[in-house]
Amino acid sequence: MVYVDDVMLTGTSISYIDSIKLLLDDKFKIKDFGSLKYIVGLELARPHKCIILNQRKYDLDIFNDTRLLAAKLCYTPLGMDYHKLHDPNLIPYHYPSEYKRLVGKLLYLRTTRPDMCFAFQFIS
């Protein structure tokens, strides 16, 4: 996987991966940071022959930016009365650029939170 200037190599053969790294280093002078732990906002953990992706730091950054670190847990991300978001009597949010930025962050968060996809897509 290549993202701008970050490269992630995966495979079943360590010797083949090492040969690719040597080839890339010969052409581009790369830095090898060892086993992957974090890439493009995704944190990777490898317990017992599996890979777990999370965005814990990204989650905390969103809560911190929105000053919602003390918010209460909600098991249903978008309540059953979500139609109230369309109330014509509600006053529009005064800072649309902040709202758009937050929605963009939440849409990226869908990568590791498929349970929240509907809610994030609904508010977008």
Average pLDDT over residues 12-18: 92
Average pLDDT over residues 43-66: 88
The reported pTM is 0.64
19: pLDDT strictly greater than 90: yes
User: Residues 3, 39: contact at Cβ < 8 Å?
Assistant: yes
Average pLDDT over residues 44-61: 87
Per-residue pLDDT tens over the stretch 66-104: 888 888 877 766 766 666 666 677 777 788 888 899 899
What does the alpha-carbon distance between residue 73 and residue 76 come to, in Å, rounded to a whole number?
A: 9
Percent of the chain at pLDDT > 90 equals: 13
Q: State whether the Cα torsion 113-116-122-61 is positive or negative.
A: negative
Q: What is the pLDDT of residue 20?
A: 93
Q: What is the pLDDT of residue 25?
A: 92
Cα 75 to Cα 7, 80, 119, distances in angstroms = 37, 12, 12
Least confident of 23-27, 35-39, 86-90, 95-99: 86-90
What does the alpha-carbon distance between residue 85 and residue 122 come to, in Å, rounded to a whole number?
A: 10
Helix (H, G, I), strand (E, B) or coil at 46: coil
Angle at Cα 90 formed by Cα 101 and Cα 110, nearest 5°?
A: 30
Q: What is the pLDDT of residue 82?
A: 66
Q: What is the pLDDT of residue 23?
A: 94
